[in-house]
């Protein structure tokens, strides 16, 4: 277990499922002491409805999330070098984060989180896979930073 960083950026492929989940859950678990954002390699998708649903089950609100890419972050002046830690949740986002951070002294971690999109036929099956993804993220958060410090 390690102390919470001052700032962390979660990233995945589209900033529509895994990284928004990680952002929202981390904020809920550990409060506002850490600046938390998320981004994707692409931002060609809006937040996923199943992602919103399984996070609502644990009282994490994601409906207002707006997807953004690394390129958009740079356009808006959100400097990657200002983050203490970048957590990549997909191989493509890990490659992009390493590429973008090679000029900065920045830690990039890779957490292999399952992409639930396209898995399952029925709503029940799809929700099952999204819950698995959510629970993988929770497991990694707790292993890295301990039990939640904020009250549910």
Question: Among residues of the chain, what percentage have pLDDT more than 70?
Answer: 99
What is the tens place of the pLDDT at every residue in 13-60? 988 899 999 999 999 999 988 999 999 988 777 888 999 999 999 999
Closest CA to 50 of 120, 105, 150: 120
Confidence of residue 96 (pLDDT cuts 50, 70, 90): confident
Torsion sign across C-alpha atoms 120, 90, 134, 67: negative
* Alpha-carbon separation of residue 48 from 30, 60, 76, 145 (angstroms): 24, 14, 23, 26
Q: Is the pTM of this model over 0.85?
A: yes
Pairwise CA distance, residues 46 & 52, whole Å: 11
């Amino acid at each position: 277990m390690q102390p919470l960083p001052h700032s962390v950026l979660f990233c995945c492929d589209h900033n529509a499922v895994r990284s928004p989940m990680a952002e929202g859950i981390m904020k809920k678990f550990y409060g506002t002491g850490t600046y938390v954002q998320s981004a994707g390699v692409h931002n060609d998708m809006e937040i996923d409805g199943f992602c919103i649903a399984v996070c609502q089950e644990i009282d994490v609100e994601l409906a207002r999330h707006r997807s953004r890419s690394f390129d958009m972050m740079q356009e808006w002046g959100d400097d990657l070098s200002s983050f203490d830690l970048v957590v990549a949740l997909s191989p493509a986002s890990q490659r992009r984060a390493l590429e973008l951070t090679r000029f900065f002294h920045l830690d990039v971690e890779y957490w292999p989180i399952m992409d639930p999109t396209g898995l399952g036929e029925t709503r029940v099956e799809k929700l099952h896979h999204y819950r698995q993804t959510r629970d993988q993220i929770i497991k990694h958060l707790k292993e890295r930073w301990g039990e939640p410090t904020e009250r549910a």
